[in-house]
Amino acid sequence: MSNNFVTAIKSRINYQVFLLLTLIVLLFVFDHLTDGVIMKRNVIFRLTENVMEVGLIALSMTLVIATGGIDLSVGYAMALAAIMMGLTYEKTGSMVAAVAVCLLTGMLCGALNGLIIAKAGIPPLVTTLATFSLYTGVSKCIAGSNIFSAFPEGMTILITHRLFGIIPYQFILFLVLASLFAFAFNRTRYGRYLRGMGFNEQTVRFSGVNIGLTKFNIYVLAGLMSAIAAIVYLCRLPAAKPDIGININLETITAVVLGGTSIVGGVASIEGTVLSILILGVLRKGLSLIGLGGDKYNFILGIILVFCLIGFSFLNGQITLTRKKVTE
Protein backbone atom coordinates (compact mmCIF):
# COMPACT_ATOMS: atom_id res chain seq x y z
CA MET A 1 0.00 0.00 0.00
CA SER A 2 1.55 3.27 -1.03
CA ASN A 3 1.89 5.96 1.51
CA ASN A 4 -0.50 8.39 0.02
CA PHE A 5 0.01 11.19 2.44
CA VAL A 6 3.70 11.30 1.84
CA THR A 7 2.94 11.28 -1.85
CA ALA A 8 0.45 14.04 -1.32
CA ILE A 9 2.96 16.08 0.62
CA LYS A 10 5.60 15.35 -1.91
CA SER A 11 3.30 16.37 -4.69
CA ARG A 12 2.41 19.52 -2.81
CA ILE A 13 5.99 20.42 -2.19
CA ASN A 14 6.77 19.47 -5.73
CA TYR A 15 4.01 21.72 -6.90
CA GLN A 16 5.24 24.60 -4.82
CA VAL A 17 8.69 24.07 -6.20
CA PHE A 18 7.09 24.14 -9.61
CA LEU A 19 5.44 27.43 -8.77
CA LEU A 20 8.70 28.85 -7.54
CA LEU A 21 10.44 27.77 -10.72
CA THR A 22 7.66 29.31 -12.77
CA LEU A 23 8.16 32.55 -10.90
CA ILE A 24 11.85 32.55 -11.60
CA VAL A 25 11.34 31.65 -15.25
CA LEU A 26 8.79 34.42 -15.64
CA LEU A 27 11.20 36.89 -14.14
CA PHE A 28 13.86 35.95 -16.62
CA VAL A 29 11.44 35.93 -19.54
CA PHE A 30 10.12 39.38 -18.79
CA ASP A 31 13.59 40.61 -18.07
CA HIS A 32 14.58 39.56 -21.52
CA LEU A 33 11.48 41.03 -23.10
CA THR A 34 12.04 44.36 -21.43
CA ASP A 35 15.74 44.50 -22.05
CA GLY A 36 16.90 44.05 -18.55
CA VAL A 37 14.48 46.34 -16.75
CA ILE A 38 12.98 43.72 -14.45
CA MET A 39 15.95 42.28 -12.69
CA LYS A 40 17.27 45.57 -11.47
CA ARG A 41 17.44 45.76 -7.72
CA ASN A 42 15.06 48.64 -7.37
CA VAL A 43 12.51 47.22 -9.75
CA ILE A 44 12.20 43.62 -8.76
CA PHE A 45 10.41 44.25 -5.50
CA ARG A 46 8.17 46.81 -7.03
CA LEU A 47 6.70 44.11 -9.18
CA THR A 48 4.44 43.20 -6.34
CA GLU A 49 3.19 46.71 -5.71
CA ASN A 50 -0.15 46.49 -7.37
CA VAL A 51 -1.03 43.01 -6.46
CA MET A 52 -0.79 43.21 -2.71
CA GLU A 53 -4.44 44.03 -2.20
CA VAL A 54 -5.36 40.92 -4.11
CA GLY A 55 -2.80 39.05 -2.08
CA LEU A 56 -4.26 40.08 1.25
CA ILE A 57 -7.73 39.03 0.24
CA ALA A 58 -6.43 35.83 -1.32
CA LEU A 59 -5.05 34.80 2.05
CA SER A 60 -8.46 34.72 3.65
CA MET A 61 -10.06 33.44 0.47
CA THR A 62 -7.80 30.41 0.72
CA LEU A 63 -9.37 29.62 4.07
CA VAL A 64 -12.88 30.12 2.76
CA ILE A 65 -12.31 27.90 -0.25
CA ALA A 66 -10.60 25.32 1.95
CA THR A 67 -13.90 24.75 3.70
CA GLY A 68 -15.63 24.27 0.39
CA GLY A 69 -17.16 27.72 0.35
CA ILE A 70 -16.60 30.85 -1.70
CA ASP A 71 -16.91 34.60 -1.27
CA LEU A 72 -17.72 36.67 -4.30
CA SER A 73 -18.41 39.83 -2.36
CA VAL A 74 -14.84 40.60 -1.31
CA GLY A 75 -14.04 43.19 -3.95
CA TYR A 76 -17.18 45.12 -3.19
CA ALA A 77 -16.74 44.91 0.54
CA MET A 78 -13.32 46.40 -0.08
CA ALA A 79 -14.80 49.27 -2.07
CA LEU A 80 -17.41 49.92 0.58
CA ALA A 81 -14.80 49.89 3.31
CA ALA A 82 -12.67 52.32 1.35
CA ILE A 83 -15.61 54.63 0.80
CA MET A 84 -16.56 54.51 4.45
CA MET A 85 -13.00 55.35 5.32
CA GLY A 86 -13.03 58.30 2.96
CA LEU A 87 -16.35 59.49 4.28
CA THR A 88 -15.29 59.21 7.89
CA TYR A 89 -12.08 61.06 7.29
CA GLU A 90 -13.93 63.79 5.49
CA LYS A 91 -16.38 64.19 8.32
CA THR A 92 -14.03 63.83 11.28
CA GLY A 93 -10.56 64.60 10.06
CA SER A 94 -9.32 61.76 12.20
CA MET A 95 -7.28 59.06 10.54
CA VAL A 96 -7.71 56.80 13.48
CA ALA A 97 -11.48 57.01 13.25
CA ALA A 98 -11.34 56.48 9.51
CA VAL A 99 -9.28 53.34 9.83
CA ALA A 100 -11.49 52.03 12.57
CA VAL A 101 -14.63 52.57 10.52
CA CYS A 102 -12.98 50.96 7.54
CA LEU A 103 -12.10 47.82 9.44
CA LEU A 104 -15.48 47.71 11.05
CA THR A 105 -17.24 48.01 7.71
CA GLY A 106 -15.25 45.15 6.32
CA MET A 107 -16.04 42.99 9.28
CA LEU A 108 -19.73 43.81 9.13
CA CYS A 109 -19.86 42.87 5.48
CA GLY A 110 -18.22 39.59 6.35
CA ALA A 111 -20.53 39.10 9.28
CA LEU A 112 -23.58 39.43 7.08
CA ASN A 113 -22.21 36.76 4.78
CA GLY A 114 -21.29 34.57 7.70
CA LEU A 115 -24.66 34.91 9.32
CA ILE A 116 -26.59 33.94 6.24
CA ILE A 117 -24.28 31.07 5.35
CA ALA A 118 -23.83 29.65 8.82
CA LYS A 119 -27.23 30.34 10.33
CA ALA A 120 -29.63 30.22 7.45
CA GLY A 121 -27.71 27.58 5.62
CA ILE A 122 -27.93 29.32 2.25
CA PRO A 123 -25.16 28.18 -0.12
CA PRO A 124 -22.17 30.55 -0.11
CA LEU A 125 -22.40 31.12 -3.85
CA VAL A 126 -25.84 32.64 -3.87
CA THR A 127 -25.33 34.43 -0.60
CA THR A 128 -22.24 36.24 -1.75
CA LEU A 129 -23.78 36.96 -5.14
CA ALA A 130 -26.58 38.71 -3.34
CA THR A 131 -24.37 40.53 -0.88
CA PHE A 132 -22.03 41.74 -3.56
CA SER A 133 -24.96 43.43 -5.25
CA LEU A 134 -25.96 44.86 -1.93
CA TYR A 135 -22.51 46.21 -1.14
CA THR A 136 -22.13 47.74 -4.59
CA GLY A 137 -25.48 49.40 -4.24
CA VAL A 138 -24.71 50.75 -0.82
CA SER A 139 -21.32 51.97 -2.03
CA LYS A 140 -22.89 53.82 -4.88
CA CYS A 141 -25.62 55.26 -2.73
CA ILE A 142 -23.13 56.63 -0.28
CA ALA A 143 -20.59 57.84 -2.80
CA GLY A 144 -22.92 59.04 -5.50
CA SER A 145 -20.55 60.29 -8.10
CA ASN A 146 -18.09 61.59 -5.57
CA ILE A 147 -14.67 60.29 -5.20
CA PHE A 148 -13.37 60.51 -1.70
CA SER A 149 -9.89 61.73 -2.11
CA ALA A 150 -9.46 64.19 0.68
CA PHE A 151 -6.87 62.07 2.37
CA PRO A 152 -3.90 63.43 4.20
CA GLU A 153 -0.67 63.95 2.32
CA GLY A 154 1.16 61.52 4.48
CA MET A 155 -0.97 58.62 3.44
CA THR A 156 0.95 57.80 0.37
CA ILE A 157 4.13 57.96 2.33
CA LEU A 158 3.89 54.26 2.87
CA ILE A 159 4.09 53.76 -0.81
CA THR A 160 6.52 56.36 -1.93
CA HIS A 161 8.99 55.33 0.67
CA ARG A 162 10.28 51.87 0.82
CA LEU A 163 12.31 49.81 3.21
CA PHE A 164 15.92 50.16 2.29
CA GLY A 165 14.61 52.12 -0.62
CA ILE A 166 13.59 49.02 -2.53
CA ILE A 167 11.11 46.88 -0.63
CA PRO A 168 7.56 48.22 -0.64
CA TYR A 169 5.97 48.36 2.80
CA GLN A 170 2.82 46.69 1.62
CA PHE A 171 4.86 43.75 0.51
CA ILE A 172 6.24 43.46 4.00
CA LEU A 173 2.74 43.72 5.38
CA PHE A 174 1.66 41.00 3.05
CA LEU A 175 4.51 38.73 4.04
CA VAL A 176 3.86 39.33 7.70
CA LEU A 177 0.18 38.58 7.39
CA ALA A 178 0.89 35.63 5.12
CA SER A 179 3.15 34.20 7.78
CA LEU A 180 0.42 34.62 10.35
CA PHE A 181 -2.07 32.92 8.10
CA ALA A 182 0.35 30.15 7.30
CA PHE A 183 1.04 29.69 10.95
CA ALA A 184 -2.64 29.63 11.81
CA PHE A 185 -3.47 27.27 9.01
CA ASN A 186 -0.59 24.86 9.31
CA ARG A 187 0.16 24.88 12.97
CA THR A 188 -3.06 25.53 14.82
CA ARG A 189 -6.12 23.40 15.19
CA TYR A 190 -8.21 25.78 13.14
CA GLY A 191 -6.38 24.83 10.01
CA ARG A 192 -7.26 21.21 10.63
CA TYR A 193 -10.88 22.07 11.27
CA LEU A 194 -11.12 24.08 8.07
CA ARG A 195 -9.55 21.42 5.91
CA GLY A 196 -11.66 18.80 7.60
CA MET A 197 -14.80 20.78 6.88
CA GLY A 198 -13.87 20.87 3.24
CA PHE A 199 -13.53 17.10 3.15
CA ASN A 200 -16.24 15.97 5.49
CA GLU A 201 -18.22 18.49 7.49
CA GLN A 202 -20.23 15.88 9.35
CA THR A 203 -17.18 14.26 10.83
CA VAL A 204 -15.85 17.57 12.05
CA ARG A 205 -19.21 18.24 13.64
CA PHE A 206 -19.08 14.82 15.26
CA SER A 207 -15.73 15.77 16.71
CA GLY A 208 -17.19 18.46 18.88
CA VAL A 209 -16.34 21.44 16.70
CA ASN A 210 -18.78 24.31 16.39
CA ILE A 211 -19.14 24.39 12.64
CA GLY A 212 -21.47 27.35 12.51
CA LEU A 213 -19.17 29.57 14.53
CA THR A 214 -16.13 28.53 12.53
CA LYS A 215 -17.81 29.36 9.25
CA PHE A 216 -19.03 32.66 10.57
CA ASN A 217 -15.55 33.56 11.65
CA ILE A 218 -13.84 32.88 8.36
CA TYR A 219 -16.28 35.08 6.51
CA VAL A 220 -15.77 37.87 9.00
CA LEU A 221 -12.04 37.40 8.53
CA ALA A 222 -12.51 37.67 4.78
CA GLY A 223 -14.33 40.94 5.37
CA LEU A 224 -11.55 42.18 7.61
CA MET A 225 -8.92 41.38 5.01
CA SER A 226 -10.99 43.23 2.44
CA ALA A 227 -10.87 46.26 4.70
CA ILE A 228 -7.13 46.00 5.18
CA ALA A 229 -6.77 45.70 1.44
CA ALA A 230 -8.84 48.84 1.11
CA ILE A 231 -6.44 50.72 3.32
CA VAL A 232 -3.46 49.50 1.34
CA TYR A 233 -5.19 50.50 -1.86
CA LEU A 234 -5.93 53.95 -0.58
CA CYS A 235 -2.34 54.39 0.45
CA ARG A 236 -1.43 53.71 -3.11
CA LEU A 237 -4.24 55.59 -4.83
CA PRO A 238 -6.02 57.88 -2.40
CA ALA A 239 -9.29 57.89 -4.25
CA ALA A 240 -12.19 55.86 -2.95
CA LYS A 241 -14.89 54.95 -5.39
CA PRO A 242 -17.29 52.07 -5.79
CA ASP A 243 -15.60 50.21 -8.59
CA ILE A 244 -12.13 49.76 -7.18
CA GLY A 245 -12.69 46.12 -6.42
CA ILE A 246 -14.26 44.99 -9.62
CA ASN A 247 -11.56 42.64 -10.72
CA ILE A 248 -10.63 41.26 -7.39
CA ASN A 249 -12.85 38.21 -7.51
CA LEU A 250 -11.16 36.71 -10.50
CA GLU A 251 -7.64 37.48 -9.41
CA THR A 252 -8.16 36.17 -5.92
CA ILE A 253 -9.79 32.95 -6.97
CA THR A 254 -7.19 32.38 -9.67
CA ALA A 255 -4.42 32.96 -7.16
CA VAL A 256 -5.93 30.52 -4.72
CA VAL A 257 -6.59 27.81 -7.28
CA LEU A 258 -3.25 28.28 -8.98
CA GLY A 259 -1.65 27.88 -5.59
CA GLY A 260 -2.93 24.35 -5.33
CA THR A 261 -6.03 24.83 -3.23
CA SER A 262 -8.89 22.68 -4.40
CA ILE A 263 -12.01 24.58 -5.36
CA VAL A 264 -14.18 22.04 -3.58
CA GLY A 265 -12.19 22.27 -0.39
CA GLY A 266 -10.05 20.04 1.78
CA VAL A 267 -6.77 20.48 0.00
CA ALA A 268 -5.33 23.92 0.59
CA SER A 269 -2.06 25.76 0.83
CA ILE A 270 -1.29 29.26 2.01
CA GLU A 271 2.26 29.00 0.73
CA GLY A 272 0.89 28.13 -2.68
CA THR A 273 -1.32 31.18 -2.61
CA VAL A 274 1.64 33.38 -1.73
CA LEU A 275 3.69 32.03 -4.59
CA SER A 276 0.78 32.46 -6.98
CA ILE A 277 0.34 36.05 -5.93
CA LEU A 278 3.97 36.69 -6.70
CA ILE A 279 3.59 35.02 -10.05
CA LEU A 280 0.51 37.07 -10.84
CA GLY A 281 2.29 40.22 -9.77
CA VAL A 282 5.20 39.56 -12.09
CA LEU A 283 2.80 38.60 -14.84
CA ARG A 284 0.73 41.72 -14.45
CA LYS A 285 3.62 44.11 -14.28
CA GLY A 286 5.56 42.30 -16.95
CA LEU A 287 2.65 42.31 -19.35
CA SER A 288 2.02 45.99 -18.82
CA LEU A 289 5.67 46.76 -19.41
CA ILE A 290 5.58 45.08 -22.76
CA GLY A 291 2.36 46.77 -23.65
CA LEU A 292 -0.23 44.13 -22.91
CA GLY A 293 -2.04 45.65 -20.01
CA GLY A 294 -5.44 45.49 -18.40
CA ASP A 295 -7.75 43.35 -20.45
CA LYS A 296 -5.10 41.04 -21.78
CA TYR A 297 -4.06 40.28 -18.25
CA ASN A 298 -7.62 39.38 -17.30
CA PHE A 299 -7.89 37.21 -20.31
CA ILE A 300 -4.78 35.32 -19.36
CA LEU A 301 -6.06 35.01 -15.82
CA GLY A 302 -9.22 33.45 -17.08
CA ILE A 303 -7.29 30.95 -19.15
CA ILE A 304 -5.01 30.11 -16.24
CA LEU A 305 -8.02 29.55 -14.04
CA VAL A 306 -9.70 27.27 -16.53
CA PHE A 307 -6.57 25.21 -17.01
CA CYS A 308 -5.92 24.93 -13.30
CA LEU A 309 -9.47 23.83 -12.64
CA ILE A 310 -9.35 21.20 -15.34
CA GLY A 311 -5.88 20.06 -14.40
CA PHE A 312 -6.54 19.72 -10.71
CA SER A 313 -9.81 18.03 -11.44
CA PHE A 314 -7.85 15.28 -13.12
CA LEU A 315 -5.36 15.05 -10.31
CA ASN A 316 -7.94 15.08 -7.59
CA GLY A 317 -10.13 12.77 -9.57
CA GLN A 318 -7.66 10.01 -9.10
CA ILE A 319 -7.89 10.26 -5.36
CA THR A 320 -11.48 11.11 -4.63
CA LEU A 321 -14.17 11.81 -7.12
CA THR A 322 -16.82 13.24 -4.86
CA ARG A 323 -19.14 15.13 -7.05
CA LYS A 324 -20.44 17.95 -4.99
CA LYS A 325 -23.55 19.81 -5.92
CA VAL A 326 -22.47 22.11 -8.70
CA THR A 327 -24.24 25.19 -7.41
CA GLU A 328 -22.38 25.57 -4.15
Partner 1 sequence: MTNVLELRNIVKTFPGVKALDNMKLELRKGELLAICGENGAGKSTLMKIVTGVYKPDSGEMLLNGEPVHIKHPNDAYEKGIAIIYQETSLFPELTVLENIFMGHEFIRRKFGLHFIDYEKMRQTALDIFGKLGVEIDLDGKVGGFGVATKQMIEIAKALTYDAKILILDEPTASLTSREVTALFNTIKRIKAEGVSMVYISHRLEEIFLIADRVMVIRDGGYVATAGAKDVNSNQLVSWMIGRELSDLYSKTPTKPGAEALSVENLNQGETLKDISFTLRKGEIVGLSGLAGSGRTELAHALCGLSEIDSGTIRMNDREITVDNYHEAIRQGMVYVSEDRKANGLITQMAIGENMTLSILDKLSGWLGIRFKREREMVDAYTARLKIKAMSSATVLNNLSGGNQQKVSVAKALVAEPRILILDEPTRGVDVGAKSEIHKIIDELVHRDLAILMISSDLPEILAMSDRIYVMKEGRIAGELPKEEASQEKILTLAL
Partner 2 sequence: MARKNKLLEIVKTREFALGVFTLGVFAILYATTNFSSAAGLQSYAKDVAYILTASIGMTILFIAGNTDLSMGTTLGLAGYFAAYFAKTGSHWYVFIPVAIVVGVIFSGINGLIVVLFKVPSMVASLALMTVHMGLFTLLPLGGWVENVPRHFADVGYAVLGGVPLVFVIAVTLFLAALLFMKFTRFAKKLYAVGGNYNSAILAGISPDRTIFHAYLISGALIGVASILLNTTKQMVQANSSYGMEMVFITTTVVGGTSVNGGKGGLVGTMIGSFFYALLTRAMIFYGFQDYYSYAFQGVIILLAVLATEIDFGRVAKRLSAALQARDENRTHRKCP
Binding site for partner 1 (CB under 8 A): 1-6, 8-9, 183-184, 187-189, 192-193, 195-196, 199-200, 202-210, 266, 319-320
318 binds, among partner 2, partner 1, none (CB under 5 to 8 A by kind): none
Report what 166 binds from partner 2, partner 1, none; CB cut-off 5-8 Å by kind. none
Cα–Cα distance, 97 to 314 (Å, whole number): 50
Nearer to partner 2, 104 or 300 (CB): 300
Please give the residue ranges that form the binding site for partner 2 (CB under 8 A). 70, 116, 120-123, 125-127, 129-141, 144, 242, 249-250, 253-254, 257, 263-264, 295-296, 298-303, 305-306, 309-310, 313-314, 317, 321, 323-328
Nearer Cβ to partner 2 (133/210): 133
* Total residue count of the chain as it appears in this document: 328
Nearest distance from C-beta of residue 120 to partner 2, angstroms:
6
Whether residue 308 contacts residue 257, with contact meaning beta carbons closer than 8 Å, is answered with: yes
**Smallest gap, in angstroms, from Cβ of residue 148 to partner 2?**
16
Residue 44 is which amino acid? I
3-state DSSP assignment of residue 148: strand
Strand partners, 148: 240
Beta-carbon count within 10 A of 99 CB: 18
Q: Give the nearer residue to partner 2 in terms of CB position, either 228 or 263.
A: 263
Distance CA 124, CA 103 (A): 22
Please name which of 279, 195, 304, 264 lies closest in space to residue 16, comparing C-alpha atoms. Answer: 279
Q: Which does 249 bind (CB under 5 to 8 A by kind): partner 2, partner 1, none?
A: partner 2
| Residue 89 binds which entry of partner 1, partner 2, none, CB below 5-8 Å type-dependent | none
What does the H/E/C string look like for 17-61? HHHHHHHHHHHHHHHHHCCCCCCCHHHHHHHHHHHHHHHHHHHHH
Q: In the chain, where do the E strands start and end?
A: 162-163, 167-168
Q: Looking at beta carbons only, is 95 or 309 nearer to partner 2?
A: 309
Output 183 or 307, the one with its CB closest to partner 1: 183
- Select the binding partner of residue 146 from partner 2, partner 1, none (C-beta < 5 to 8 A, by kind): none
Query: Quick one: 50 or 170, whose CB is closer to partner 2?
Result: 50
- Identity of the residue, 86 or 265, whose beta carbon is nearer to partner 1 in the bound complex: 265
Q: How far is the CB of 96 from partner 2 (least distance, A)?
A: 29
Neighbours of 13 (CB within 10 A): 12
11 makes contact, choosing from partner 2, partner 1, none, with CB < 5 to 8 Å by partner type, with: none
Helical residues (DSSP H) of the chain, grouped into ranges = 4-33, 41-44, 52-66, 74-92, 95-114, 124-143, 157-160, 169-187, 189-199, 201-205, 211-236, 248-258, 270-289, 294-319
